[in-house]
Every structure is written in structure tokens, then in C-alpha cells.
Amino acid sequence: MSTSLTTDQSSLAAQLRAQRQTRRRIGTTVIYLVLILLAILFLFPVFWSLITSFKIPSEAAATPASGWPSRFVLDNYVKLNQLGLGVWTYVSNSLIVAIITVIGSITLSTLGGYGFSRFNFRYKNILFVMILMTLMIPFQSILTPLFLILGTLRLQNTLIGLALVYITFQLPFGIFVMRNTFDTVPKELEEAALLDGCNSISMLYRVMLVIVRPGIITVGIYAFINSWNEFLAALIFMNKESMFTFPIMLTSVRTGLYGTVDWGALQSGVVVSILPCVVIFLLLQRYYMQGLTGGAVKG
């Protein structure tokens, strides 16, 4: 009798395990289907811009929009390069501004974050909160004062002046990320470095920068993407065509009668503007995710 009960209990437990596994598989399948649908939803505009950039001009401008191109051509990219001073002039301007912004943002954010994390000084928390409060100020509201300041310093129509504006916009977020990243580093590492003869500067350079690399890369990615894609400040501070950045150049892709848009050339410009951001993110996404979550949990 007891043997029969044991067999029934084992059979019932096996059935329950099988049901739980089935429900788990169904739940996992549903989650993956939802994620796949969301990925398709977000990637479709990029895919549409890509195939439109290789269409012949008549198909790119067709209404309603045509589907798959009848043949793939590079005419839109050739036309894009013929606009203004050539596409690579504007791309190089954007790259120079983005590189200066990345270097400046990383340097100042690292020093600021290290100071707020490791040093105690009067009104430290109040000053940190005041820096974070600047994130709530719409940058459009300070463009006029910045325009006057750059004019006084004779930095209008210069790539360095535009990069300084972008660095100013990036610093609150960068200092916030770096401060939280430094907070996760045990102070025992600094004490060991000090015992080995390092001073504050050499310890920051030789020890800390290696450990906080994810935070530094996160700040760099944000600085690059925001400065590469920014349009309004560049439009206001730059009025010489030789100093235009790539987003400003894209607004001039109007070659038809009454300012109609050349969709093929415009979509090819969109593809060119997307490529650097995608490549940088894919190469550094591992560090990026670590940098975003680095200050979430301490201890």
C-alpha cells in the first residue's frame, strides 16, 4: 500500500514539474516574441532609410512609397557629396567637434566625479545638487547668453567654441555618472596605492582610471552621440558654411522646385549620420551597460 502511494506521489510530482517547465517555456517564448517585435519596430526606420538611400531618385521620391528597390544604385550618395562644399567637409567638422567634446567631457567629468566622491569640503552636497539641477534647465533658454559670450570671446564660427558649449551641456550628467562610479571603488585600493608611494594624481592616473573605465566610456558615448547629432546650437552659433556640421548640412538637401525634398539624398545623409553612432555603440556596449549600472548598488 505504501509503495503504491509513493509511486502516485512521484508521478504527481513529475506531472507538476512538467507543467511548471511548460509554463516557463511558454512564458519565455512570449517574452522573446515581444522583444523581437519591439526590435523590428525600432529597427524598421533604420532599415527603411538604408534601402531608400540605394533607390533610384524616382523611386525614392515616389508617392506612395515604393517597397524594395528595383535596382541598387549609389546616385543618392554621389548627389549628397555634391551639395555645398562636399559631404566630407561637414562630416569632418562634426567629427572634430565630437572628439573635442568627448575629450573635454571625460577629463572634466572624471576630475569632478573623483572630487565629489573622495574629498570632503564645505557645501559639497549642496554644490553637487546644484550641478544636477542644471539638467532641468532647457538648454534652449541659455542659447542667447551663450551666443553673446562666444561673441565676446571671439569663438563664434569656430569648432572649439561649439565644442565648449557641448561640453558645458554634458558636464552635469558626466559628473553624476563618474561620481557614482568612483563611489563603487573600495577606498582600500587608494590606501594601498598611497602606501606604495603614489600621490593623488598618479593614483588617479595609474589605478583608478583602469577601474572606472566603464563609467568613462559611458560618458564618452553620451558626449559623442549628443554632439554628433546636435542641431540647434550648431545652427545658431555657426553662420559660415565652411564651419557647418553635418546635421546643418542635411537641412539643405532641398533641390527641387519650391523647396521639395530630395528624399534619396536625405536618406543617404541619414545613413551616414547613423553609422558612427551604431559602430561606436556596438563596439563599446559592454562597458556602456557596466557604466550605467555601476553606481546602482554599493558595497
The CATH number of residue 156's host domain is 1.10.3720.10
Same domain, 46 and 102: no
Say if 65 falls within a structural domain. no
119 and 186 co-located in one domain: yes
Q: Does 232 lie in the same domain as 269?
A: yes
Residue 174 lies in a domain: yes
Same domain, 26 and 136: no
Residues 16 and 83 in one domain: no
Q: What is the pTM of this model?
A: 0.82
CA gap 155, 161 in Å, rounded:
5
Asked if residue 22 belongs to a domain, the reply is yes
Nearest one of 112, 240, 117, 245 to 168, comparing CA atoms: 112
The pLDDT value given to residue 184: 84
Residue ranges making up the domain that contains 151:
75-293
Split into its structural domains, the chain has a count of: 2
In a domain, 140, yes or no: yes
Are both 229 and 260 inside the same structural domain?
A: yes
- How high is the pLDDT of residue 289? 64
**213 and 269 co-located in one domain:** yes
Do 49 and 128 sit in the same domain of this protein?
no
With a cut of 70, which residues of the chain have pLDDT below it? 1-9, 12, 254-259, 288-299
Question: What secondary structure does DSSP assign to the chain, as a single string?
Answer: -HHHHHHHHHHHHHHHHHHHHHHHHHHHHHHHHHHHHHHHHHHHHHHHHHHHHTS-HHHHT-SSPPSS-SS---HHHHHHHTSTT-HHHHHHHHHHHHHHHHHHHHHHHHHHHHHHHH---TTHHHHHHHHHHGGGS-GGGGHHHHHHHHHHTT-TT-HHHHHHHHHHHHHHHHHHHHHHHHHTS-HHHHHHHHHTT--HHHHIIIIIHHHTHHHHHHHHHHHHHHHHH--HHHHHH--SGGG--HHHHHTT---SGGG---HHHHHHHHHHHHHHHHHHHHHHHHHHHHHHHTTTS--
Q: Give residue-wise pLDDT tens across range 205-249.
A: 777 888 888 889 889 999 999 999 998 889 888 888 888 999 988
Q: Both 10 and 137 in a single domain?
A: no
Same structural domain for residues 211 and 120? yes
In a domain, 61, yes or no: no
216 in any annotated domain = yes
pLDDT value, residue 278 = 87
pLDDT of residue 84: 72
Does residue 69 lie within any of the structural domains? no
Do 106 and 236 sit in the same domain of this protein?
yes
> Tell me, what amino acid is at 105?
S
pLDDT of residue 24: 86
- Cβ neighbours of residue 66 closer than 8 Å, sequence gap 6 or more: 55, 59
Grid cell locating 161: 567654441
Residue-wise DSSP of 2-34: HHHHHHHHHHHHHHHHHHHHHHHHHHHHHHHHH
- In 3D space, the residue among 196, 211, 227, 225 whose CA is nearest the CA of residue 114 turns out to be 211
Q: Do 109 and 90 form a contact (C-beta atoms < 8 A)?
A: no
68 belongs to a structural domain? no
Q: Do 35 and 113 belong together in one domain?
A: no
Residues 206 and 76: beta-carbon distance below 8 Å: no
CA distance 160 to 96: 9
